[in-house]
Amino acid sequence: MSSWVGQAIRRGRLTTRYPAEPATELELPMLARAPRPPAVVPDRLGAIAACPVAALSAAGGSGIRADEGRCIRCARCAAHGFDFSGSAECSRPDRAGLLVPPVPSGPGARAVPLRQLGRSVHVFLVDAGSCNACNHEVLALTNPYYDAQRLGIFFTNSPRHADVLLVVGVPTAEMTEPVRRAFEALPSPKAVVAVGVCPIGGGVFQSTPGLAGSLEELVPVDAFVPGCPPAPVSVLDAILGLLGRSRARTEG
Amino acid sequence: MTSRPWSESLRGPAGALGTEHAPAYLPIDRAFALVNDYGTGRALLWRGPAPAEANEVATLWRRAAEAPRPHRVAPEEVVEGYGVFTFPYGPISMGVPESGRFDVRTYGERILTLGPVAGFKSRRILGALPGLTPEDALLRVERLAGNFSAAHAAAFLAAVESAAAIEVARTELWTRALAQELERIYNHLHQIARVAEAASQNVGLAQTHALAEEMLRIEGRTFGHRWLFGALAPGAPTRRLDPEGRRWLGRALRELSGRFEVLLELFLGSRTFVDRLQTTGVVSRERAVRWGAVGPVLRATGVAWDDRLRAPSVPYTDLFLELPREDGGDALARILVRAHEVRSSALLLEQLLDRWPGDAMAREAPAPPVGPGRGLGRVESPSGDLVYEVRLTNGRIASVGMRSASHANWPVFAESLRHAVFTDFHFAWESFGLVFAETDA
């Protein structure tokens, strides 16, 4: 046993400084970042047509609007001058907030639904039909590099003990009822986080018949984390955002 | 206690979710039965009732794709007796962080039989592919099972290239092998970490989980994506590994395998860990071969069979591959196979990086098409043999069939837990490395 401890001590501190410091290049590789159009897109229609998930649309003037809730980071738009340079704080409390540049919208969702929980929040993971990448990214929050427990975020084994439901994957017909039941099992106050583009808008499966279009059709969603899959730091930021402890909020 | 064939109990209780979610019956060893290498006629391991014609295999594939969902992976028999009931575990549980159900026949402590119920996450992927270009289909195929994305992409692309007789750049084949070996190391580390978690080896869990995260960071730095989506492309490589990137990768991998060796020694020195894994979830060699198990599950029963050696393609023809094999057939043997494969994959990666081909090198011709516009692609995914069959019409996908390692290993998994206790479940589950996302395509 002492050798295990010795090995752990020799490895030293691995844990990220996030959210006290911004996410590093290794924590947020290129394709975990959001697409940003260049100042001038030479071939606007070509760029819009290149996107396989219809995440790009024409905006006012000669601009392009990118929908981060649809973008699967295939980087085909890179040929049209797009780059991937967003920050880890990419989650938004409302669906319209994922549009860049934003469109003017009505009153937004509750921005801080779980503020009263303060420094301790229990989360439960539900797979509505994912490819398993988002599952692994969420579970990575428990590894020493992210160590979500240090921020008071704990994974529970039952939705009845949870405050936050993390939903990954595109909701399939078979999972709609189990997802609803899991949501109902959470005690109030509760919040739902859509992790990845699949629960937000179906991602690459958005046009497949037999799948629910989005998680919003099943349960109310309090935070949308775009990405395919989102980086663990982005999921961390979304959970902290529910408590009013997001890095974006404390800075701004 | 009495036993009767499972098929007689098909109209049994529907489980916790009510009749609308009653699983339909689909004996997986029949419906997913496939013969290895049927395309070339070199049958190395026959499984299930052998279909005589390739057409028949296509029918089985189609039937599997159209199967009612969710469908049950049926054990051989159903057990009745005093106090015996069916305990539905899933589809949502934190023990298995994927959605799928296990119908456990039990009287309270022992698992009498276990029936995995797959299909909860059916995203209708394969059925939606016809009509797409191979490039667009690839976006869906690599998101079929995210932690095996490089294996799926490589097998799919090999099938497409074989069907269309496209030549592939040598650097692209090298990149595919590189991506697959990185993915293999990540998945083995992840699986070992999860077994350590089940055995309450908390320091071991944290340290191995940290190595798995380091692997993802290495993949992210090398390909821009932690799950290798978009890393592979048909024909020629889109992303080139520069010499500086290769040197960094080599250094990072050497450092990581050094750390893993230390952990492995500590794991094997831990009596509680080894004792817990020994004789848990045993698969006999006879059963593994008869039911067509693949991958580390098969190699843990003493059969040295690996797709990278069976019909090696470039670059595996040019590399030295050390194939680990264990004889126990239990969770320990499977974990040892995985641990030694981390080592052998690291060795492969070292060779790949050392002999990285220049862009000017000759192009490699793909396997000739199996039939008109039809090709097979086959790779060793981290959990075992993965086959794709692709038909093309006018450059677009006409149909796609897929048989994954998870399809092949369900029956032996269910069998390995007969007469086990509940707490054995996670040791078997994590050492098998099954993925519902693959069967629910």
C-alpha distance from A201 to closest chain B C-alpha (Å): 14
Q: Are residues B204 and B90 in the same domain?
A: no
Query: What's the rounded Cα separation, in Å, for the pair A169 and A175?
Result: 10
Q: Which of B391, B397, B387 is nearest to B374 (CA)?
A: B391
pLDDT for the residue A247: 82
Collect all residues of chain B within an 8 Å Cβ-Cβ radius of residue A129: 99, 120-123, 440
CB B210 within 8 A of CB B189: no
C-alpha distance from A64 to closest chain B C-alpha (Å): 22
Q: Does B392 touch chain A (CB under 8 A)?
A: no
Q: Could you tell me which residues are beta bridge partners of residue B168?
A: B364
pLDDT for the residue B412: 83
Instruction: Using CA coordinates, name the residue in chain A closest to B203.
Output: A4
Nearest residue, CB atoms, B225 vs list A31, A128, A136: A31
C-alpha distance from B43 to closest chain A C-alpha (Å): 31
H/E run at residue B386: strand B384-393
CB B133 within 8 A of CB B396: yes
Nearest residue, CB atoms, B143 vs list A5, A125, A204: A204
Nearest residue, CB atoms, B220 vs list A29, A131, A175: A29
* pLDDT tens-digit series, residues A195-225: 999 999 999 998 888 788 899 999 999 999 9
Q: What is the DSSP letter of A169?
A: S
CB contact under 8 A, A133 and B149: yes
User: Chain A interface, mutation test: which of B17, B94, B188, B434, most A Cβ atoms within 10 Å?
Assistant: B94
Collect all residues of chain A within an 8 Å Cβ-Cβ radius of residue B269: 3
CB contact under 8 A, A211 and B124: yes
CB contact under 8 A, A30 and B121: no
Nearest residue, CB atoms, B209 vs list A5, A75, A143: A143
Query: What's the rounded Cα separation, in Å, for the pair B247 and A198?
Result: 36
The verdict on whether omega for the bond into residue A209 sits within 30 degrees of 0, i.e. cis, is no
Query: What's the rounded Cα separation, in Å, for the pair A147 and B204?
Result: 15
Nearest residue, CB atoms, A177 vs list B17, B119, B122: B17
CB contact under 8 A, A170 and B123: yes
More confident residue, A174 or A168: A168
Contacts of A156 (CB under 8 A, 6+ apart): A122, A123, A124, A162, B94
Collect all residues of chain B within an 8 Å Cβ-Cβ radius of residue A52: 136, 139
Q: Are residues B192 and B111 in the same domain?
A: no
CB contact under 8 A, B226 and A32: yes
Q: Are residues B129 and B153 in the same domain?
A: yes
Q: What is the DSSP letter of B18?
A: -
Distance between start and end Cα atoms, chain B: 37
ipTM: 0.94
pLDDT for the residue B7: 36
DSSP B266-307: HHHH-HHHHHHHTTSS---HHHHHHTT--HHHHHTTT----H
CB atoms < 10 A from the CB of B412, how many? Answer: 25
C-alpha distance from A136 to closest chain B C-alpha (Å): 8
Distance between start and end Cα atoms, chain A: 46
Domain count, chain B: 2
Contacts of A65 (CB under 8 A, 6+ apart): A56, A57, A58, A59, A99, A100, A101, A103
Q: Are residues B169 and B80 in the same domain?
A: no
CB contact under 8 A, B230 and A208: no
Q: Does B239 touch chain A (CB under 8 A)?
A: no
Nearest residue, CB atoms, B139 vs list A72, A169, A210: A72
Chain B, residues 59-118, CB within 8 A of chain A, namely: 69-70, 91-95, 97-99
- Residue range of the domain that includes B385: 125-410
CB A247 within 8 A of CB A240: yes
pLDDT for the residue B25: 33
The CATH number of A115-251, from 3.40.50.12280, 3.90.105.20, 3.40.50.300, 3.40.50.280, is 3.40.50.12280
Q: Is residue B326 part of a domain?
A: yes
Q: Is residue B352 part of a domain?
A: yes
Q: Are residues B112 and B138 in the same domain?
A: no
Q: Is residue B305 part of a domain?
A: yes
Average pLDDT of the residues of chain A = 89
CB B74 within 8 A of CB B25: yes
Q: Is residue B200 part of a domain?
A: yes
pLDDT for the residue B17: 32
Query: What's the rounded Cα separation, in Å, for the pair B142 and B144?
Result: 5
Q: Which of B384, B406, B404, B367 is nearest to B307 (CA)?
A: B384
Chain B, residues 145-204, CB within 8 A of chain A, namely: 145-147, 149, 190, 203-204
CB contact under 8 A, A52 and B136: yes
Nearest residue, CB atoms, A132 vs list B98, B216, B270: B98
Q: Are residues B158 and B95 in the same domain?
A: no
Chain B, residues 342-361, CB within 8 A of chain A, namely: none
Query: What's the rounded Cα separation, in Å, for the pair A110 and B105?
Result: 46
Q: Does B123 touch chain A (CB under 8 A)?
A: yes
Q: Is residue B426 part of a domain?
A: no
Q: Are residues B83 and B159 in the same domain?
A: no
**Residue B346 carries which side chain, given as an amino acid letter?**
A
DSSP B76-134: SEEEE-TT-EEEEE-SS-SSSSS--EEEEEESSSEEEEEEEEE-TT---HHHH-TTS-H
pLDDT for the residue B180: 96
Collect all residues of chain B within an 8 Å Cβ-Cβ radius of residue A177: 17, 20-21
Instruction: Using CA coordinates, name the residue in chain A closest to B437.
Output: A131
Collect all residues of chain A within an 8 Å Cβ-Cβ radius of residue B232: none
How far, rounded to the nearest angstrom, does the alpha carbon of residue B425 sit from its chain's CA centroid?
Answer: 19
CATH number at residue B241: 1.10.645.10
**Residue A224 carries which side chain, given as an amino acid letter?**
F
CB atoms < 10 A from the CB of B129, how many? Answer: 23
| End-of-domain residue from the set B100, B118, B136 | B118
Task: With both helix axes pointing from N to C terminus, report the angle between B405-416 and B425-432 in degrees, rounded to the nearest 10.
Answer: 160
| End-of-domain residue from the set B118, B153, B174 | B118
CB contact under 8 A, A128 and B230: no
Q: What is the DSSP letter of B7?
A: G
Q: Is residue B170 part of a domain?
A: yes
Q: Are residues B340 and B259 in the same domain?
A: yes
CB contact under 8 A, A129 and B190: no
Collect all residues of chain B within an 8 Å Cβ-Cβ radius of residue A72: 139, 143, 229
Which pLDDT tens digits describe chain B residue by residue (441 residues)? 555 443 333 333 333 333 333 333 333 333 333 333 332 222 222 333 333 333 334 444 444 444 444 455 555 456 778 888 888 887 898 777 898 888 888 888 888 888 777 778 888 888 889 999 999 999 999 999 999 999 999 999 999 998 988 888 888 889 999 999 999 999 999 999 999 999 999 999 999 999 999 999 999 999 999 999 988 888 766 667 888 999 999 999 999 999 999 999 999 999 999 999 999 999 998 888 777 788 999 999 998 888 888 777 878 888 999 889 999 999 999 999 999 999 999 999 999 999 888 765 556 667 777 667 888 888 999 999 888 888 899 889 998 888 788 877 877 888 899 889 999 999 999 999 999 898 887
Instruction: Using CA coordinates, name the residue in chain B closest to A72.
Output: B139
CB atoms < 10 A from the CB of A59, how many? Answer: 16
Contacts of A204 (CB under 8 A, 6+ apart): A52, A53, A72, A228, B139, B140, B143
Q: Which of B214, B270, B221 is nearest to A144 (CA)?
A: B214
Instruction: Using CA coordinates, name the residue in chain A closest to B215.
Output: A26
Q: Are residues B97 and B225 in the same domain?
A: no
pLDDT for the residue B47: 32
Q: Are residues B179 and B85 in the same domain?
A: no
Q: Is residue B429 part of a domain?
A: no
Q: Are residues B155 and B65 in the same domain?
A: no
Collect all residues of chain A within an 8 Å Cβ-Cβ radius of residue B225: 29-32, 73
DSSP B20-64: GGPPEEE-HHHHT---TTTTTT--SS--SSPPSSHHHHHHHHHHH
CB contact under 8 A, B98 and A211: no
Q: Which of A67, A88, A107, A103 is nearest to A201 (CA)?
A: A67
Give the CA count within 13 Å in the CB-facing half-sphere of A84: 23
pLDDT for the residue B237: 64
Query: What's the rounded Cα separation, in Å, for the pair B182 and B208?
Result: 16
pLDDT for the residue A109: 54
Backbone φ and ψ of B15, nearest 5°:
95, -170
Burial of B162 (0-12, 13-18, 19+ CB in 10 A): buried
**CB pairs below 8 Å between A and B: how many?**
182
pLDDT for the residue B16: 32
Residue owning tokens 């921005």: A111
Query: What's the rounded Cα separation, in Å, for the pair B400 and B382?
Result: 21
Q: Are residues B214 and B265 in the same domain?
A: yes
Q: Which of B414, B382, B423, B413 is nearest to B195 (CA)?
A: B423
Q: Is residue B420 part of a domain?
A: no
